[in-house]
């Protein structure tokens, strides 16, 4: 059980090891707030989708199983989107994330974990696997967003952290950090660090 | 049971889809009023931004309260420029984006009669909505004019699905919006206020520069502004203030400025 939870976080991390969900991790990591909401949304979607698909895994007709999975995932994504729109605190973030919440449907992590795990395992382990996969994705998202918001805008969660004195002394925000290519460079560095720590991940 | 038979597959998928649709319909119905409240507060903050207000608060309640304190009246005008009604200011009634969409059909169709709201604020600024089509989906916005009903005080635009970083700049790029301030709406021109690609000629006071890399969105926005302002031409001319009133309003504006 513990392993089910830890594998997607470390050895089987969706972003750094499976290299899934790269597109959205470039798009939503300019600000920490957006990244956090995205991380939570993906975690909820992967968890609940895996749970539901695992519950009905023995009844799904094999020929249409991808379609059924897609319907379940879409349901969860639309529910998350509807709830984000309904609460005053999350409404502006949902607006800022625009299409990317809806695009969780196309995030390979969700379908990947259902196909690879939920369809062959009991509901509770599937739920844990789904949640952990979402968290593994979210953790990387938050690390990237932390660096990008700090260096790119000088803020964290929209609050100024780099003091005014730095700017007066000639410090400027790095414009490259805001652009998507930097997220890719940063991801590359995270993967590098991850692999150098975990020797099992290195190819011979 | 044979889960691979055709009959089973058809029945199974039908049940799943109907079930999912029912869940979504139920949730949508339950959350609808909350979402509508958020949208209303957002629209109000867009109108306030266009009308050059700042610091109107972050929460929905604060925004609505600020709007109620600063709005003087909301007039509904028709195709002939006549006033056909009012929106309740005490209740912070506004036209939602979907209501603007409905009116857009009437604006485009000359045989139909429309009703468009004109939001008049205490600081002398009047805000009118616009609505049209961008590259990927609807775009809309608010144009604020000074009390002379020809000088543009500011503008705010929003969109449903324009490309982020390109067409999305109509909303996200403050320098694009800032261009509108100080422009003159000129009803003698076929395009009373427009967006021009390749630079506004010197001396032309009723146009702003288009966004680089977003030609279609700029064109769509320009067309939306032209069609809605042209539609409102009779209303603007009917409501144009007598010279005395202008003087009085200008004094008020000056007072406001000195307070700042």
Each residue's pLDDT tens digit, A146-192: 999 998 888 888 788 888 888 888 888 888 888 888 999 999 999 99
Question: Chain A residue closest to B36 (CA)?
Answer: A86
Average pLDDT in the B188-202 region? 87
Sign of CA dihedral B116, B121, B124, B129: negative
Q: Give B3→chain A minimum CA distance, Å.
A: 5
Residue B184 to residue B46: CA distance in whole angstroms: 21
**Of B12, B35, B164, Cβ closest to residue A61:** B12
DSSP structure class, residue B151: B
Give chain B's mean pLDDT.
86
Nearest CA in chain B to A64: B9
* pLDDT higher than 90, residue A143: yes
Count of A-B CB contacts under 8 Å: 62
What token pair was written down for B60?
A: 């929905």
Beta-carbon separation of B4 and A71 below 8 A: no
More confident residue, B212 or B255: B212
Best of B27, B33, B97, B163 to disrupt the A interface (most A CBs within 10 Å) is: B27
- The reported pTM is 0.79
Q: Which of A4, A53, A1, A32 is nearest to A154 (CA)?
A: A32
Q: Per-residue pLDDT for A49 more than 70?
A: yes
SS3 for A124? helix
Which candidate from B3, B35, B60 shows the least CB-CB separation from A62?
Answer: B3
Q: Does B98 touch chain A (CB under 8 A)?
A: no
Of chain B, the percentage scoring pLDDT greater than 70 comes to 92
Encode pLDDT of A52-109 as tens digits.
Answer: 999 999 999 988 999 999 999 999 999 999 999 999 888 888 888 877 888 899 888 8
Contact criterion met (CB below 8 Å) for B249 and B166: no
Q: For residue A84, with 0-12 CB atoms within 10 Å meaning exposed, 13-18 middle and 19 or more buried, which class applies? A: buried
Residues of chain A contacting residue B16, judged by C-beta atoms under 8 Å apart? 68, 71
Average pLDDT over residues A8-17: 82
Contacts of B12 in chain A (CB under 8 A): 59-61, 64, 68
Disruptive mutation site among A72, A91, A159 for chain B (greatest number of B CBs within 10 Å): A91
What pLDDT does residue B250 have?
Answer: 47
Which of B171, B179, B184 is CA-nearest to residue B214?
A: B171
Give the tens place of pLDDT for each residue, A182-191: 999 999 999 9
User: The tokens 């507060």 sit on which residue?
Assistant: B41
Give me the long-range contacts of A59-63 (CB less than 8 A, separation at least 24): A59/B3, A59/B12, A60/A119, A60/B3, A60/B12, A61/B3, A61/B4, A61/B8, A61/B9, A61/B12, A61/B13, A62/B3, A62/B4, A63/B4, A63/B9
B34 has a chain A CB within 8 A of its CB:
yes
Residue A120 burial by Cβ neighbours in a 10 Å radius (0-12, 13-18, 19+): exposed
pLDDT cut 90: percent of chain A above it: 43
Q: How many whole angstroms separate alpha carbon B248 and alpha carbon A123?
A: 73
- The answer to whether the Cβ–Cβ distance between A88 and B9 falls below 8 Å is no
Q: Give the pLDDT band of residue B241 (cuts 50, 70, 90).
A: low
Closest by Cα among A115, A3, A143 to A49: A115
User: In terms of DSSP H, where are the helices of chain A?
Assistant: 2-6, 22-27, 32-55, 65-86, 91-97, 99-102, 108-116, 123-153, 164-168, 175-178, 180-197
Nearest to A71 among B3, B17, B28 (CB): B17
Q: Is the pLDDT of residue B246 over 70?
A: no
**Contact (CB<8Å) B34/A59:** no
Residue B138's pLDDT band (cuts 50, 70, 90): very high
């Amino acid at each position: 059980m513990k392993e089910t939870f830890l594998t997607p976080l470390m050895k089987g991390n969706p972003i750094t090891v499976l290299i899934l969900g790269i597109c959205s991790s470039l798009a939503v990591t300019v600000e920490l707030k957006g990244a956090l909401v995205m991380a939570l949304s993906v975690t909820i979607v992967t968890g609940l989708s895996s749970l539901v698909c695992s519950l009905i895994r023995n009844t799904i007709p094999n020929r249409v199983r991808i379609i059924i999975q897609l319907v379940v995932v879409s349901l969860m994504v639309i529910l998350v989107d509807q709830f984000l729109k309904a609460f005053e605190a999350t409404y502006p973030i949902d607006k800022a994330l625009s299409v990317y919440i809806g695009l969780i449907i196309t995030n390979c992590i969700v379908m990947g974990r259902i196909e690879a795990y939920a369809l062959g395992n009991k509901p509770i382990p599937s739920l844990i696997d789904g949640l952990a996969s979402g968290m593994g994705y979210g953790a990387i998202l938050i690390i990237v967003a932390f660096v990008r918001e700090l260096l790119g805008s000088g803020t964290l969660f929209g609050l100024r952290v780099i003091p005014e004195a730095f700017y007066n002394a000639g410090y400027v925000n790095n414009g490259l950090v805001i652009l998507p290519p930097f997220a890719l460079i940063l991801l590359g560095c995270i993967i590098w660090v991850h692999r150098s720590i975990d020797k099992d991940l290195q190819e011979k | 049971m044979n889960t691979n038979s055709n009959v089973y597959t058809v029945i199974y998928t039908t049940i799943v889809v109907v079930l999912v649709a029912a869940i979504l319909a139920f949730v949508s119905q339950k959350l609808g009023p909350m979402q509508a409240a958020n949208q209303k507060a957002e629209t109000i903050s867009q109108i306030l931004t266009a009308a050059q207000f700042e610091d109107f608060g972050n929460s929905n309640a604060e925004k609505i309260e600020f709007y109620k304190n600063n709005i003087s009246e909301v007039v509904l005008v028709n195709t002939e420029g006549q006033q056909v009604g009012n929106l309740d200011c005490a209740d912070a009634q506004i036209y939602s984006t979907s209501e603007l969409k409905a009116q857009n059909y009437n604006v485009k169709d000359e045989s139909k009669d429309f009703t468009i709201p004109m939001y008049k604020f205490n600081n002398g600024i009047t805000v009118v909505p616009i609505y049209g089509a961008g590259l990927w989906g609807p775009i809309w916005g608010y144009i604020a004019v000074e009390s002379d009903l020809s000088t543009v005080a500011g503008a705010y635009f929003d969109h449903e699905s324009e490309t982020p970083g390109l067409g999305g700049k109509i909303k996200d790029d403050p320098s694009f919006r800032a261009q509108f301030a100080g422009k003159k709406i000129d009803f003698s021109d076929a395009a009373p206020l427009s967006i021009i690609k390749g630079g506004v000629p010197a001396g032309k006071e009723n146009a702003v520069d288009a966004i680089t890399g977003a030609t279609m969105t700029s064109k769509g926005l320009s067309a939306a502004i032209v069609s809605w302002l042209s539609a409102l031409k009779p209303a603007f001319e009917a409501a144009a203030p007598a010279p005395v009133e202008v003087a009085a309003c200008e004094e008020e504006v000056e007072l406001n400025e000195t307070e700042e």
